[in-house]
Protein backbone atom coordinates (compact mmCIF):
# COMPACT_ATOMS: atom_id res chain seq x y z
CA UNK A 1 0.00 0.00 0.00
CA UNK A 2 1.41 3.39 -1.03
CA UNK A 3 0.28 6.92 -0.26
CA UNK A 4 -0.13 9.42 -3.07
CA UNK A 5 -0.54 13.20 -3.17
CA UNK A 6 -2.54 14.90 -5.93
CA UNK A 7 -2.94 18.50 -7.03
CA UNK A 8 -6.59 18.99 -8.00
CA UNK A 9 -8.41 21.85 -9.75
CA UNK A 10 -12.16 22.24 -9.98
CA UNK A 11 -14.94 24.57 -11.04
CA UNK A 12 -17.16 24.83 -7.97
CA UNK A 13 -20.21 26.18 -9.79
CA UNK A 14 -22.24 22.98 -9.87
CA UNK A 15 -21.01 21.54 -6.58
CA UNK A 16 -22.51 21.77 -3.10
CA UNK A 17 -18.99 22.27 -1.78
CA UNK A 18 -16.00 19.95 -1.45
CA UNK A 19 -17.07 17.66 1.39
CA UNK A 20 -19.36 14.66 0.88
CA UNK A 21 -22.99 15.40 1.77
CA UNK A 22 -26.02 13.10 1.52
CA UNK A 23 -27.89 13.39 -1.80
CA UNK A 24 -25.73 16.29 -3.01
CA UNK A 25 -23.07 16.57 -5.68
CA UNK A 26 -19.67 17.31 -4.13
CA UNK A 27 -16.05 17.35 -5.26
CA UNK A 28 -15.06 14.68 -2.74
CA UNK A 29 -17.97 12.55 -3.88
CA UNK A 30 -16.88 12.70 -7.53
CA UNK A 31 -13.26 11.95 -6.61
CA UNK A 32 -14.22 8.95 -4.48
CA UNK A 33 -16.53 7.62 -7.22
CA UNK A 34 -13.61 7.74 -9.67
CA UNK A 35 -11.29 5.99 -7.22
CA UNK A 36 -13.92 3.33 -6.55
CA UNK A 37 -14.24 2.57 -10.28
CA UNK A 38 -10.46 2.43 -10.63
CA UNK A 39 -10.18 0.04 -7.67
CA UNK A 40 -12.89 -2.36 -8.98
CA UNK A 41 -15.54 -1.33 -6.45
CA UNK A 42 -13.34 -0.90 -3.38
CA UNK A 43 -13.99 2.24 -1.31
CA UNK A 44 -10.99 4.59 -1.22
CA UNK A 45 -10.90 7.40 1.33
CA UNK A 46 -9.75 10.76 -0.05
CA UNK A 47 -8.47 13.45 2.34
CA UNK A 48 -8.08 17.08 1.29
CA UNK A 49 -6.21 20.12 2.62
CA UNK A 50 -9.58 21.58 3.60
CA UNK A 51 -13.16 22.13 2.54
CA UNK A 52 -14.49 24.66 0.08
CA UNK A 53 -18.08 25.92 0.07
CA UNK A 54 -20.69 25.64 -2.65
CA UNK A 55 -19.70 27.71 -5.66
CA UNK A 56 -16.07 28.14 -4.56
CA UNK A 57 -13.35 27.09 -7.00
CA UNK A 58 -9.88 25.61 -6.61
CA UNK A 59 -6.76 25.80 -8.71
CA UNK A 60 -4.53 24.23 -6.08
CA UNK A 61 -6.48 21.86 -3.85
CA UNK A 62 -4.34 19.01 -2.49
CA UNK A 63 -5.60 15.53 -1.64
CA UNK A 64 -4.01 12.29 -0.49
CA UNK A 65 -5.10 8.67 -0.79
CA UNK A 66 -3.73 5.16 -0.28
CA UNK A 67 -3.67 2.53 -3.01
CA UNK A 68 -2.14 -0.87 -3.76
CA UNK A 69 -2.62 -0.53 -7.53
CA UNK A 70 0.50 -0.90 -9.68
CA UNK A 71 -0.10 2.11 -11.90
CA UNK A 72 2.99 3.98 -13.16
CA UNK A 73 3.23 7.35 -11.44
CA UNK A 74 2.90 9.30 -14.70
CA UNK A 75 -0.31 7.40 -15.59
CA UNK A 76 -2.34 8.20 -12.47
CA UNK A 77 -3.52 11.55 -13.86
CA UNK A 78 -4.67 9.95 -17.11
CA UNK A 79 -6.46 7.13 -15.32
CA UNK A 80 -8.30 9.40 -12.88
CA UNK A 81 -9.19 12.13 -15.37
CA UNK A 82 -10.76 9.55 -17.67
CA UNK A 83 -13.23 8.80 -14.86
CA UNK A 84 -13.82 12.31 -13.50
CA UNK A 85 -16.41 14.82 -14.77
CA UNK A 86 -15.25 17.80 -16.81
CA UNK A 87 -15.34 20.21 -13.85
CA UNK A 88 -12.72 18.29 -11.82
CA UNK A 89 -9.16 17.68 -12.99
CA UNK A 90 -6.18 15.97 -11.36
CA UNK A 91 -3.27 18.20 -12.35
CA UNK A 92 -0.42 16.08 -10.96
CA UNK A 93 0.24 13.02 -8.81
CA UNK A 94 3.29 12.13 -6.75
CA UNK A 95 4.15 9.46 -4.24
CA UNK A 96 4.13 10.76 -0.65
CA UNK A 97 5.56 9.55 2.65
CA UNK A 98 3.30 7.06 4.43
CA UNK A 99 2.63 9.61 7.19
CA UNK A 100 1.79 12.53 4.90
CA UNK A 101 -1.59 14.17 5.50
CA UNK A 102 -3.01 16.74 3.07
CA UNK A 103 -4.72 18.70 5.85
CA UNK A 104 -2.56 18.31 8.95
CA UNK A 105 0.78 18.80 7.17
CA UNK A 106 -0.27 22.01 5.44
CA UNK A 107 1.80 25.00 6.59
CA UNK A 108 -0.33 27.64 4.94
CA UNK A 109 -2.67 28.52 2.09
CA UNK A 110 -3.19 31.15 -0.55
CA UNK A 111 -6.68 32.22 -1.54
CA UNK A 112 -7.61 34.67 -4.26
CA UNK A 113 -10.86 36.55 -4.66
CA UNK A 114 -11.64 37.79 -8.17
CA UNK A 115 -13.90 40.73 -9.00
CA UNK A 116 -15.20 42.33 -12.16
CA UNK A 117 -15.53 46.12 -11.94
CA UNK A 118 -17.53 46.37 -15.15
CA UNK A 119 -20.74 48.38 -15.09
CA UNK A 120 -22.42 45.67 -17.20
CA UNK A 121 -22.99 42.07 -16.27
CA UNK A 122 -20.87 39.54 -18.11
CA UNK A 123 -22.86 36.32 -18.56
CA UNK A 124 -19.64 34.41 -19.22
CA UNK A 125 -17.86 35.36 -16.01
CA UNK A 126 -20.80 35.46 -13.62
CA UNK A 127 -19.78 32.12 -12.04
CA UNK A 128 -16.10 33.03 -11.74
CA UNK A 129 -15.98 36.63 -10.53
CA UNK A 130 -18.08 38.90 -8.33
CA UNK A 131 -19.37 41.89 -10.27
CA UNK A 132 -18.96 45.15 -8.35
CA UNK A 133 -19.76 48.16 -10.58
CA UNK A 134 -19.31 50.88 -7.95
CA UNK A 135 -16.35 53.25 -7.33
CA UNK A 136 -13.69 51.99 -4.91
CA UNK A 137 -10.97 53.80 -2.99
CA UNK A 138 -8.18 51.26 -3.52
CA UNK A 139 -5.69 53.22 -1.40
CA UNK A 140 -8.05 53.12 1.59
CA UNK A 141 -8.54 49.38 1.11
CA UNK A 142 -4.79 48.79 1.09
CA UNK A 143 -4.46 50.88 4.25
CA UNK A 144 -7.20 48.83 5.91
CA UNK A 145 -5.61 45.55 4.81
CA UNK A 146 -2.38 46.48 6.60
CA UNK A 147 -4.23 46.39 9.95
CA UNK A 148 -5.12 42.74 9.31
CA UNK A 149 -1.60 41.44 8.69
CA UNK A 150 -0.24 39.54 11.66
CA UNK A 151 -1.44 37.02 14.23
CA UNK A 152 -4.89 37.81 15.63
CA UNK A 153 -8.10 36.28 16.87
CA UNK A 154 -10.26 36.49 13.73
CA UNK A 155 -13.59 35.73 15.44
CA UNK A 156 -15.11 38.87 13.89
CA UNK A 157 -14.13 37.64 10.43
CA UNK A 158 -15.54 34.12 10.50
CA UNK A 159 -19.03 32.70 10.29
CA UNK A 160 -20.89 32.48 13.57
CA UNK A 161 -21.71 28.90 12.51
CA UNK A 162 -18.11 27.74 12.81
CA UNK A 163 -17.43 24.96 15.30
CA UNK A 164 -13.72 25.76 15.62
CA UNK A 165 -12.83 27.06 19.09
CA UNK A 166 -9.34 28.42 18.39
CA UNK A 167 -9.85 31.35 16.02
CA UNK A 168 -6.29 32.70 16.16
CA UNK A 169 -4.69 32.76 12.71
CA UNK A 170 -1.73 34.47 11.10
CA UNK A 171 -2.34 36.50 7.97
CA UNK A 172 1.04 36.84 6.27
CA UNK A 173 -0.01 39.00 3.36
CA UNK A 174 -2.91 40.72 1.60
CA UNK A 175 -2.36 42.08 -1.89
CA UNK A 176 -4.79 43.93 -4.11
CA UNK A 177 -4.06 43.17 -7.76
CA UNK A 178 -5.54 45.72 -10.12
CA UNK A 179 -6.29 44.84 -13.73
CA UNK A 180 -8.17 46.39 -16.61
CA UNK A 181 -11.72 46.38 -15.28
CA UNK A 182 -10.87 43.85 -12.60
CA UNK A 183 -9.62 43.57 -9.04
CA UNK A 184 -8.23 40.51 -7.28
CA UNK A 185 -7.44 40.04 -3.61
CA UNK A 186 -4.58 37.71 -2.66
CA UNK A 187 -4.60 36.34 0.89
CA UNK A 188 -1.75 34.24 2.32
CA UNK A 189 -1.94 32.82 5.82
CA UNK A 190 -1.21 29.83 8.00
CA UNK A 191 -4.89 28.90 7.97
CA UNK A 192 -8.35 30.32 7.36
CA UNK A 193 -11.62 30.06 9.25
CA UNK A 194 -15.06 29.31 7.81
CA UNK A 195 -16.02 32.17 5.43
CA UNK A 196 -13.01 34.19 6.65
CA UNK A 197 -11.74 35.29 3.22
CA UNK A 198 -15.21 36.22 1.99
CA UNK A 199 -15.92 38.28 5.12
CA UNK A 200 -12.55 40.01 4.84
CA UNK A 201 -13.34 40.90 1.23
CA UNK A 202 -16.82 42.14 2.13
CA UNK A 203 -15.42 44.33 4.89
CA UNK A 204 -12.62 45.75 2.74
CA UNK A 205 -15.17 46.59 0.05
CA UNK A 206 -17.11 48.63 2.60
CA UNK A 207 -13.89 50.54 3.31
CA UNK A 208 -13.42 51.08 -0.42
CA UNK A 209 -16.99 52.38 -0.68
CA UNK A 210 -16.39 54.89 2.13
CA UNK A 211 -18.72 53.13 4.57
CA UNK A 212 -15.91 52.36 7.04
CA UNK A 213 -12.57 53.94 7.85
CA UNK A 214 -9.37 51.94 7.29
CA UNK A 215 -8.45 52.07 10.99
CA UNK A 216 -11.79 50.50 11.93
CA UNK A 217 -10.18 47.11 11.20
CA UNK A 218 -8.34 47.22 14.53
CA UNK A 219 -11.59 47.81 16.39
CA UNK A 220 -13.36 45.01 14.53
CA UNK A 221 -10.59 42.56 15.45
CA UNK A 222 -10.74 43.65 19.08
CA UNK A 223 -14.54 43.17 19.30
CA UNK A 224 -14.30 39.43 18.46
CA UNK A 225 -17.90 39.57 17.25
CA UNK A 226 -19.06 38.69 13.72
CA UNK A 227 -21.73 41.40 13.76
CA UNK A 228 -19.07 44.16 13.66
CA UNK A 229 -17.53 43.05 10.34
CA UNK A 230 -18.93 43.51 6.84
CA UNK A 231 -21.06 41.35 4.61
CA UNK A 232 -19.90 37.97 3.34
CA UNK A 233 -18.84 38.36 -0.30
CA UNK A 234 -20.42 35.90 -2.77
CA UNK A 235 -18.85 32.49 -3.28
CA UNK A 236 -18.19 32.60 -7.02
CA UNK A 237 -15.22 34.97 -6.77
CA UNK A 238 -13.24 32.76 -4.39
CA UNK A 239 -10.43 30.38 -5.39
CA UNK A 240 -8.26 28.10 -3.28
CA UNK A 241 -5.09 28.99 -5.12
CA UNK A 242 -2.25 27.13 -3.42
CA UNK A 243 -1.46 25.00 -0.36
CA UNK A 244 1.99 25.26 1.21
CA UNK A 245 3.79 22.30 2.78
Catalytic residue among 11, 43, 53, 66: 53
Helix (H, G, I), strand (E, B) or coil at 192: coil
Q: How many angstroms separate the CA atoms of 12 and 187, rounded? A: 19
| Cβ neighbours of residue 38 closer than 8 Å, sequence gap 6 or more | 44, 69, 79, 80, 83
Answer whether 62's CB lies under 8 Å from 39's CB: no
Contact between residue 46 and residue 63 where contact means Cβ atoms under 8 Å apart: yes
Rounded Cα distance, 40 and 46, in Å: 16
Known catalytic residue at 53: yes
Give the contacts of 59 (CB within 8 A, at least 6 positions apart): 9, 239, 240, 241, 242
Could you tell me if 31 and 46 are in contact, meaning their C-beta atoms sit under 8 angstroms apart? yes
* Nearest-angstrom CA–CA distance, 52 and 46: 15
d(CA 212, CA 222): 16
User: Which residues are annotated as catalytic?
Assistant: 53
Amino acid sequence: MKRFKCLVAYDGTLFSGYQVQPNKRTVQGELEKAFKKLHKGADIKVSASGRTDAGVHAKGQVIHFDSDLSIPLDKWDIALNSLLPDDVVVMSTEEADSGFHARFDAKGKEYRYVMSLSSKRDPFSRNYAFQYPYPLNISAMKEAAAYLIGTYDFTSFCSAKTEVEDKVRELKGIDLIEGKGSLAFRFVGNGFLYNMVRILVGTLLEVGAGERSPNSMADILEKKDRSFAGKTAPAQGLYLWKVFY
